[in-house]
Amino acid sequence: MGKKCIGVDIGGTTVKLGLFETDGTLLHKWEVTTRKEDGGKYILPDVAASIREVLSQRGIGLEDVVGAGMGVPGPVMPDGQVELCVNLGWRNMNPQNELSALLDGIPVKSGNDANVAALGEMWQGGGKGFSDIVMVTLGTGVGGGVILNQKIVAGRHGLGGEIGHIHVRDEETEHCNCGGVGCVEQIASATGIAREARRKMAASDAPSAMRKYGDDITAKDVLDEAKAGDQMALEVVEIVGRYLGLLLAQLALTVDPEMFVIGGGVSRAGQFLIDVIEKHYQFFTPISKNKAKIGLAQLGNDAGIYGAARQVLD
Amino acid sequence: MGKKCIGVDIGGTTVKLGLFETDGTLLHKWEVTTRKEDGGKYILPDVAASIREVLSQRGIGLEDVVGAGMGVPGPVMPDGQVELCVNLGWRNMNPQNELSALLDGIPVKSGNDANVAALGEMWQGGGKGFSDIVMVTLGTGVGGGVILNQKIVAGRHGLGGEIGHIHVRDEETEHCNCGGVGCVEQIASATGIAREARRKMAASDAPSAMRKYGDDITAKDVLDEAKAGDQMALEVVEIVGRYLGLLLAQLALTVDPEMFVIGGGVSRAGQFLIDVIEKHYQFFTPISKNKAKIGLAQLGNDAGIYGAARQVLD
């Protein structure tokens, strides 16, 4: 029996777990509820108990496990320290040391969840076969992960891959959650896309298929109507694609990866969205034709467990 | 006698060379003229002959040399291939393999000159003691180098650190040399700063100490007059600082280095310039107080030979 590794993706509602062969084969995946009471102090014990149970059911001992990797929804310092993780209630703790202690000292390595998802996509997803990728996750917010030489660029202060909070739009006046103004996240997240649509509808009396959704319009509605040819929806997608294309250009001219992987719920719009991003990316990188390609993520919500597990395989 | 290493910084007019101890002590530096005739085919033989001469004078054999590193004014592929180096006349050649062959097969490693300068500043300059820095070189153009784990992030297509061609200014209409519009280089290079000053002077009739220079104004004139308190010159520096602060924010939210090192001729303005950049950098990174510091480069024109040599010490 070959060695195994474990991926733990800690979210605000559920913890996703995966048991893997070291070659990336997913053997089993499961979930436990995230108990956030009392500063989140039950989360890691619950995770450890669940891992022990699953291993036991399969006749696998902890000595057969290379290690467990973890994705955490917040900044993680180079030594694994988490100063504040609002979604979990964690404050000034080192979850990788704690989980390791709960699992007889097996190696545990943690990373920010968006960075970890990027590593997962590099390992077994849209970036498989590449060593240098940047993933952009378009969900409720905009997350990112920079992977160079098959390793996460976590940064010295936990800000590596925080690309959703790069300022790109000078004329913005509303504030982002981060305190900034004109962040990528304000435009290209699911909430941002819906906001752009509401703005467009409010700014003119032109007819649009988007109007039937009113203020409850979602990013999916916008993208669906754009695909169906609605002019105003296409204008919203153009805006989103412009700023994402600009973001990718900035990244290409900084770390120059082999490929960009676009993931998150918004990326379900598929090649239609990629094509718009691609057009603007080309516009902002006239310096060279030879540069990173853009593709779609492939692992969906499993990217986190894949990437978490991959962290312990270096 | 300890092992030595050699740094070769190839410029369009002269090649700078340095002989180093492996601890970074510069033993000797010298120059040879860059002969660009016939597709630059004499450059590397000249360099090799000059190295042999200097080593021979000092009684050092090639067997005492760990290797020679090279900085090249253009994109360098991961395998050392140079597709086109306009300033030297080089086309489709591998200078590191060629120089190695000319030096009895000692290891030779090449990199883009701006990237190499960044590595030099990390080794013995403004970034000494750090492993993760980004250098921004404000010269005739704007160059850059991203150093992570004490290694150059050269990129997969030679675009790593090409931060001068990141688009930051939407309202720009003139084109940059790269073919783009609104690049950092158009604003914050020496030529860019002079252009901003001419624009400011043309846009109003307000009095300014800058007017005495007319259209021949230089970046140094602008910075000197700003330091002396001239209002219009200060407005120009504000613009330059804003876009550089934005650039550093983008970089902090991508690779999150320990420090930024600002170099090149424009950086001779010193802490005065850093303070303006810092103000805008803070504005664009409200997400965290804990982030990379900004400092000045220290090696001047020698950064290239230091960094070139450092490349062979991994």
**DSSP-derived secondary structure for chain B:** ---EEEEEEE-SSEEEEEEEETTS-EEEEEEEE---HHHHTTHHHHHHHHHHHHHHHTT--GGGEEEEEEEESS---TTS-EEEETTTTEEEE-HHHHHHHHTTT--EEEEEHHHHHHHHHHHHSTTTT-SSEEEEEESSSEEEEEEETTEE---SSS-TT-GGG-B--TT--SBPTTS-BSBTHHHHSHHHHHHHHHHHHHH-----GGGGGGGG--HHHHHHHHHTT-HHHHHHHHHHHHHHHHHHHHHHTTT--SEEEEESGGGGGTHHHHHHHHHHHHHT-TT-SS--EEEE--SGGGHHHHHHHHGGG-
Tell me the C-alpha distance between A5 and A63, whole Å: 11
Percent of chain A with pLDDT over 70: 100
| Segment 161-190 of chain B within 8 Å of chain A by CB | 161-163, 165-167, 170, 178-180
Determine contact: B288 vs chain A, CB below 8 A: yes
Q: Mean pLDDT, chain A, as a whole number?
A: 97
User: In terms of pLDDT, which residue wins out, A314 or B122?
Assistant: B122
* A86: pLDDT strictly greater than 90: no
Q: How many CA atoms lie within 13 A of A206 on its CB side?
A: 14
What's the token pair of residue A119?
Answer: 């590593």
Indicate the residue of A132, A156, A286 with minimum beta-carbon distance to B256. Answer: A156
Give how far A198 is from chain B: nearest CA, Å. 23
The answer for B 139-158 residues in CB contact with A (under 8 A) is 146, 148, 153-158
A258 near B CB under 8 A:
yes
- pTM, two decimals, is 0.96
How many Cβ atoms sit within 10 Å of the Cβ of residue B3?
14
CB proximity A249 to B under 8 Å: yes
**A283: enclosing H helix or E strand:** helix A271-283
Mean pLDDT per 10-residue run, chain B (314 residues)? Answer: 94 96 97 96 98 97 97 93 91 96 97 97 98 97 97 96 97 95 97 98 97 97 98 98 98 98 97 98 96 98 98 92
In this prediction, residue A107 has a pLDDT band, given cuts at 50, 70 and 90, of: very high
- Closest-CA distance, A257 to chain B, in angstroms, reads 6
Given an 8 Å threshold on Cβ–Cβ distance, is A179 in contact with B253?
no
Q: Nearest CA to CA, how far is A90 from chain B (Å)?
A: 18
Amino acid in the structure at residue A239: I
- Tens of pLDDT, residues A55-65: 999 999 999 99
Give the pLDDT score at A87: 87
The confidence score (pLDDT) of residue A1 equals 72
Judge if ipTM > 0.90.
Answer: yes
pLDDT at res. A313: 96
- The pLDDT of residue B87 is 87
Task: Tell me the chain A residues in contact with residue B115 when contact means C-beta distances shorter than 8 Å.
Answer: none
Q: Over 90: is that where the pLDDT of A233 sits?
A: yes
Instruction: Give the pLDDT of residue A28.
Output: 98
- For residue B122 the two structure tokens come to 């990390």
For residue B57 the two structure tokens come to 């004078």
Mean pLDDT of all residues in A268-279: 98
Region A188-215: mean pLDDT is 97
The pLDDT, as a whole number, for residue B14 is 96
Chain B residue nearest residue A157, CA to CA = B291
Contact criterion met (CB below 8 Å) for A257 and B255: no
- Please name the helix (run of DSSP H) or strand (run of DSSP E) that holds residue A251, with its range, or none: helix A231-252
The dihedral built from the CA positions of residue B158, B164, B169 and B171, taken in this order, carries a sign that is negative
Closest Cβ–Cβ partner in A146, A179, A286 for B254 = A146
Choose among A132, A284, A285: nearest Cβ to B156. A132
